[in-house]
Amino acid sequence: MAYKANFGNGALGDVENPDTTINSYARVTAVTPTTITINNTTKITGDATFEAGAKILIHVSACASTEVTYLGNWLIANITAVNSNVFTLDVDPTACIPSEDLAKYYVQAIAIAQYKNLTLETGCVITPPVYSVSNYHGGIVAIMCSETLTFDGGNIALNERGIPVTSKALRPVTQNDVEADTANYAGWENSDTHIHFMLNAGDGAAFIVAKKMVCSADSRIGNPATKGVQFYRGSSTSVTYNETAPSGVTNVGGSTILIAAETIENFSCAMIAKYRNSASTAGQGICRCYIASETKLRNDEGLYAYDCLSNPARIKTMNIKNFGNGSFGDVAGTNIQLNNYATITAVNGRKVTYKSQTTNADCKSPTFTCNAENRIITCVASVGTKIIASYDKFDEVISWIELGWIRRRTTAATNFYTRKRAI
């Protein structure tokens, strides 16, 4: 991959259909650049425990004041040592929440459940404990799989697991919530999920990282009683941005879902069940989902934000070897046509003949000759032979060879097709 990925150490091994609390939870009461202190008395212990070598999610879950700057911040850290209720970490937790601001928020530590392979079959339901407004932890499922997370009809149920709606003041409305266009489900909030991983008043949150994730249209992440509805931003400039909005659900107080997987198979929008039942008591905060993967998924701005991560092997197939020579220098506010274009009329070995569509004297029906790397090096024209010193300067003459097929004409009566050569 183009980045250093960590999918956990697989400490819990291969597990099918866990029926217990998979994470441990504790309130963070103090932070330093190297440690956190937790409340040992009120912690919840699950399958993944707080111990040396454990990976934890530090999460700013709720507000103890009107300050919202750090709300939703999160950080992954490894515990390197445990001294009673003080954990030494391999990263600086104050990057998530400065020590001087800790009293303004309720911060929790979650021991991430690190599986090798995890399978969730029909009937299996993973749920986090409801967020406790007295102990200030819970509401989030955190999973890592070093190999494969398989959904086969099982669910991660988050409905009514977030901050209780009776305590919605702990989850103030942020500017991002205001800009989310609540009535029309425009989805702008989704792209912020990987930065502000919010725990809403109403439904809970899921943090999922896996090397490979296999999906099922029968599985749900969020509210098992609903399903993700596939809908898109329209071209209208009016306030109605989407073709249809989901019926019987609301995006206020729904789930927050963050998924990072190198590979995703059989993806189904139905799985992203982030919406809250309209009949439920009104929550607070806008549901959101963000997915990052090397697998190409359909873009769906209303339901989830999506980043397609690339690796060097994929980029190599595009034959992009540099970022150009900067021959045009520094340009600002340009309002001109940047490229010239022409129709290719024949391909013969390493020579390409085109019909000029420019008034430039050097662009009158020449034949380009390519070198061994299929880069254009000469231009034979009526004014002589022009040597193109850099292939970047080719933009000054013609833009050619996109992905796809071109027509190769050998005689007036014979046509056949050949694969285009990439620049």
pLDDT, tens digit, for every residue of 316-359? 666 666 777 777 778 776 666 566 666 677 777 666 666 655 54
Gap between the Cα atoms of 405 and 385, Å rounded: 28
Q: Note whether 196 and 248 are within 8 A (CB).
A: no
Per residue in 233-282, pLDDT tens? 433 344 344 445 567 888 899 999 999 999 999 999 999 999 998 888 98
Give the number of residues written for the chain: 423
Q: In this predicted structure, what is the pLDDT of residue 315? A: 63
- DSSP secondary structure string, 160-185? T-SB-GGGGGGSPPPHHHHTT-GGGT
Residues 42-71, mean pLDDT to the nearest whole number: 96
Residue 307: what are its φ and ψ, rounded to 5°? -120, 125
Task: Outline where 165-268 has alpha helix (H).
Answer: 175-178
Average pLDDT, the chain: 79
Asked whether residue 162 carries a pLDDT value surpassing 60, the answer given is: yes
pTM for the model: 0.75
Q: Note whether 71 and 200 are within 8 A (CB).
A: no
Residues 354-372, mean pLDDT to the nearest whole number: 46
Query: Maximum distance among all alpha carbons in the chain?
Result: 87
